[in-house]
Structure 1
Amino acid sequence: MSLVFPHTFVPWFRSVAPYIHAHRGKTFVVAIAGEAIAAGKLATLAQDLALIHAMGIKIVLVHGFRPQVEEQLRAKGHRSRFSHGMRVTDAVALDGAQEAAGQLRYEIEAAFSQGLPNTPMAGSQVRVVSGNFITARPVGIVDGVDFQHTGLVRKIDATGIRRAVEFGAIVLLSPFGFSPTGEAFNLSMEDVACSAAIALQADKLLYLTEVRGIPLDPADPDSDIDQELALADARKLLAALPNPVQPTDTAFYLQHAVKAAEGGVERVHIVPFSVDGSVLIESFTHDGVGTMIVDEKLESLREAGPDDIGGILQLIEPFERDGTLVKRDRTEIERDIGVYSVIEHDGVIFGCAALYPYPEARTGEMAALTVSPQVQGQGDGERILKRIEQRARAERLDSIFVLTTRTMHWFIKRGFVPVEPEWLPDARKRKYNWDRRSQVLVKKLA
């Protein structure tokens, strides 16, 4: 029997609550590469998606089937042909693709039907709906290559899909489409997912793939992953990359992510299926585990407003409780909200600080500097400090000071020097808590 430790579980659960509230009622299109299913990830993915579904999130699931089609063709003694990064689908390949899709649909529906006690699926009731939601057209002949039964998405039945998800079902889309004459076409999972997300104006499109995300250095696939790419930067990167051939090429998923973002999808994610729970980590934590492409950067450093009071209170409360910060009640923060600056990411406040000016002494106090433990060590503290310095200069102050009992070294590293409490402006000196014996540190502003 596993043990649950309240001192770790409760803070963690509270930390994901803002994402649960933000995502409720939203539509996620989740595209899973066939390689993930071949690697045995289907059961845990179904558990994670059932959990997300239980939180009130509407899910459209698109599956790929590249390795499964390859297996069918090998069994038939038939060799695959590819060109321009797409499969050439002759009659034998079409037959193999249909068999692979049918088998995968059966396996996916079975995975969502599990309800064994003592598993994440216990008590879940997930209905999976599939159908002819996709109208397709042929790729045709490109540079002399006849792609035969390979197609592209012409239209998505967004109305039919919305009705199904509003009814409470997970909609399952296979990479197959049909022409108005009933001809079947083999499609790519990436094209289907992108087209569905655009047609539905989905809030998220997640590609669960064999790649880790978009590397910071495309020439070095082992370099760190770029956690967040603005759409403009993603376009520039895509234009500089060679045309993709393999799914592991940097441009392969990026091209579809850019298209989806340009089509109005708010957030597009490329995440690795090799990381257990990657869909949950990407959707319910600050940093995620892959790359997110957005039209604009989601992180903003700005001045606080009345709507930020609750977020500031939630952020500083643990530090007040352990004595790092002096306790401030809600009334005080409401009164002084105009002196606060905050760092916000995707609607959640992760850092704050306040500047209380003393114009007669040409100095100001930086107070309540706080960064969430989830993002400490990533430079947010320095960014808030620079914003407070900018505000102080704008008010024609010559210096800023802080009072601290535990973080002296952090401030000293950033140009602050210790002084005696007698240095404080008279108005602040009268409020100095001699029992707390806070260290006073001052930084001159150039």
Structure 2
Amino acid sequence: MSTVFNFTFVPWFRSVAPYIHKFRNQTFVVGITGEAIAAGKLTSIAQDLAMIQAMGVRIVLVHGFRPQVNEQLQAKGHAPQYSHGIRITDSVALDCAQEAAGQLRYEIEAAFSQGLPNTPMAGATVRVLSGNFITARPVGIVDGVDFKHSGLVRKVDVNAIRQTLDMDAMVLLSPFGFSPTGEAFNLNMEEVATSVAIELKADKLIFLTEVPGIHQDPLEPAGDENPIDTELPLATAQALLAQLPPPQQPTDTAFYLQHCVKACKAGVERSHILPFAVDGALLLEIYVHDGIGTMVIDEKLEELREATPDDVAGIVQLIEPFENDGTLVKRSRTEIERDITNYTLIEHDGVIFGCAALYPYPKEKTAEMAAVTVSPKSQGTGDGEKLLKRIEQRARNQGLESLFVLTTRTMHWFIKRGFQPVDPNWLPESRKAKYNWDRKSQVLVKKL
């Protein structure tokens, strides 16, 4: 039994190692909904956050308290009031919010203080520090609705938060802020987390939520028959958001997506929407290649997209020098035009700097990644890696289990990214029939 465990544990741990190195000393802002705590997930979430911090990640934790405040209101015979997707905080709701925040802060600090033997917290030392890091301003009156003690983030004390993180402590923020006159305002957890991530220039903004992620068709909720999009380029996320009505409740597609888009537009390169219902969602998203939720990614000045017939001339111009020196097999313009929907491109300011094509073999559950090209002007910037990830994602979306390439000069680049050499006879029969035995291309395969 232990031998089987060793064979599964060792490759898994090795596969996680690159992510541990990559994220060390990075800053993550994690927003946890009050619903996650109400569902009894706090202990497991705290354990996962403690492990993530132990691996060198700097964490700012922002908690929500929507159901807890509603529970307090109901106990006092006071109905919750919302408008524009925001709580209307009268004096009773403000008292309830302060009570809920105090209780939740106590529970969160207790969760990080556990250290029983034979638990993930054994030997962990997690200092959790809070403070008046947020200055707030009132929402005011919007469309004739007075939001009273509901507020918006006015300023984030970035220096104080950084100093706290530099002490190897975890920063804990409640969705409360205070005006310069000392007036308390009830804030939106999602807005607090987003504002802090932007001001801190965080590497990730992560929401642990009631929803499994985002599906691009707003009329089709995510589910087994309609899987979520694990990666949304910022431009795609913005286009989706423009189609959606203003969100009124957390289960609306735009509710968390609007904050992810805002963060990415302001420089936070990765924003994530994860389901708290999945045990270990944080670990799965951060340390596993495909993740568990939806990631909105800022691709900055470049655009990673599928090709259209208008791109044929640009692709021909890009790959021609590599065909002439023998790096690539020659493809006619007619062939590229015929297969244009197979191509994925990286474009900088309207100029194509990289391309790759996906040729599926559904019967064998595999696909060929062909015509992989990155302009000499862009080599070393990670464009090849981005193309590979997008092609892998396209193959997975088609239910394929592996990806193969034929190369004569770049085998080491592919081997470093998980490909393994195989005999040419491994190829699907229809592809093997077209294999050029004189060219002696190396065949490399990666399991997806």
Which bin holds the TM-score, normalised by the shorter protein?
Answer: 0.7 to 0.9
Instruction: Tell me the distance in 2 between the aligned counterparts of 1:417 and 1:69.
Output: 67
Match for 1:416 among 417, 420, 432? Answer: 432
Q: SS of the counterpart of 2:277? A: coil
Q: Deviations over 1:75-95 (max 9, x none)?
A: 111111110100000000000
For residues 205-244 of structure 1, the aligned pairs below 5 Å read 205-221=205-221, 222=223, 223-244=226-247
Partner of 2:282: 279
- Alpha-carbon deviation of 1:218? 1.5
Instruction: Tell me the distance in 2 between the aligned counterparts of 1:117 and 1:279.
Output: 23
- Alpha-carbon deviation of 1:344? 2.4
**What 5-or-longer segments of structure 2 have no aligned partner?**
307-317, 320-378, 411-420, 444-448
- Alpha-carbon deviation of 1:266? 1.1
Counterparts in 2 of 1:214 and 1:384: CA distance versus 1, 3 Å: farther
Partner of 1:160: 160
Out of 99-108 and 210-219, give the one that drifted further.
210-219
- Alpha-carbon deviation of 1:5? 1.1
Instruction: Tell me the distance in 1 between the aligned counterparts of 2:141 and 2:253.
Output: 26
Partner of 1:150: 150
Q: Deviations over 1:287-330 (max 9, x none)?
A: 10000001128989999xxxxxxxxxxxxxxxxxxxxxxxxxxx
Q: TM-score, normalised by structure 2?
A: 0.72
Counterparts in 2 of 1:16 and 1:148: CA distance versus 1, 3 Å: same
For residues 244-263 of structure 1, the aligned pairs below 5 Å read 244-263=247-266
Q: Deviations over 1:108-142 (max 9, x none)?
A: 00000000000000000000000100000000001
Instruction: Tell me the distance in 2 between the aligned counterparts of 1:48 and 1:18.
Output: 18
Partner of 1:322: none
| Residue 110 (structure 1) aligned with residue 126 (structure 2) | no
The amino acid that maps onto 1:263 is A
Indicate the percent of aligned positions where both proteins have the same amino acid. Answer: 61
Output the aligned Cα RMSD. Answer: 3.5
Q: SS of the counterpart of 2:152? A: strand
Q: SS of the counterpart of 1:152? A: strand
Counterparts in 2 of 1:123 and 1:298: CA distance versus 1, 3 Å: farther
Counterparts in 2 of 1:4 and 1:61: CA distance versus 1, 3 Å: farther
For residues 325-340 of structure 1, the aligned pairs below 5 Å read none
8 A contact 2:58–2:165 mirrored in 1: yes
8 A contact 2:132–2:177 mirrored in 1: yes
**What 5-or-longer segments of structure 1 have no aligned partner?**
304-337, 353-370, 392-401, 433-437, 440-446
Counterparts in 2 of 1:300 and 1:51: CA distance versus 1, 3 Å: farther
- Alpha-carbon deviation of 1:417? 1.0
Partner of 2:45: 45
The amino acid that maps onto 1:272 is P
For residues 168-183 of structure 1, the aligned pairs below 5 Å read 168-183=168-183
The amino acid that maps onto 1:65 is F
For residues 288-303 of structure 1, the aligned pairs below 5 Å read 288-296=291-299
For residues 355-434 of structure 1, the aligned pairs below 5 Å read 384=405, 404=423, 407-408=426-427, 411-413=428-430, 415-417=431-433, 424-425=437-438
Q: Deviations over 1:56-92 (max 9, x none)?
A: 1000000000000001001111111110100000000
Which protein is bigger by CA-based radius of gyration?
1
- Alpha-carbon deviation of 1:403? 7.5
Instruction: Tell me the distance in 2 between the aligned counterparts of 1:55 and 1:424.
Output: 48
Instruction: Tell me the distance in 1 between the aligned counterparts of 2:152 and 2:114.
Output: 34
Counterparts in 2 of 1:97 and 1:2: CA distance versus 1, 3 Å: farther
The amino acid that maps onto 1:407 is W
Instruction: Tell me the distance in 2 between the aligned counterparts of 1:144 and 1:403.
Output: 69
Partner of 1:344: 385
Q: Deviations over 1:182-230 (max 9, x none)?
A: 0000001000000000010000000000001111322111321011111
8 A contact 1:134–1:153 mirrored in 2: yes
Counterparts in 2 of 1:73 and 1:351: CA distance versus 1, 3 Å: closer
8 A contact 1:266–1:295 mirrored in 2: yes
- Alpha-carbon deviation of 1:383? 8.0
8 A contact 1:300–1:345 mirrored in 2: no
Instruction: Tell me the distance in 1 between the aligned counterparts of 2:168 and 2:437.
Output: 62
- Alpha-carbon deviation of 1:412? 2.2
8 A contact 2:216–2:240 mirrored in 1: no
Instruction: Tell me the distance in 2 between the aligned counterparts of 1:351 and 1:404.
Output: 26
Instruction: Tell me the distance in 2 between the aligned counterparts of 1:253 and 1:343.
Output: 31
Instruction: Tell me the distance in 1 between the aligned counterparts of 2:109 and 2:175.
Output: 16
8 A contact 2:424–2:432 mirrored in 1: no
- Alpha-carbon deviation of 1:377? 7.4
Instruction: Tell me the distance in 1 between the aligned counterparts of 2:228 and 2:402.
Output: 22
Q: SS of the counterpart of 1:25? A: coil
The amino acid that maps onto 1:280 is L
Partner of 1:128: 128
8 A contact 2:139–2:147 mirrored in 1: yes
Counterparts in 2 of 1:97 and 1:261: CA distance versus 1, 3 Å: same
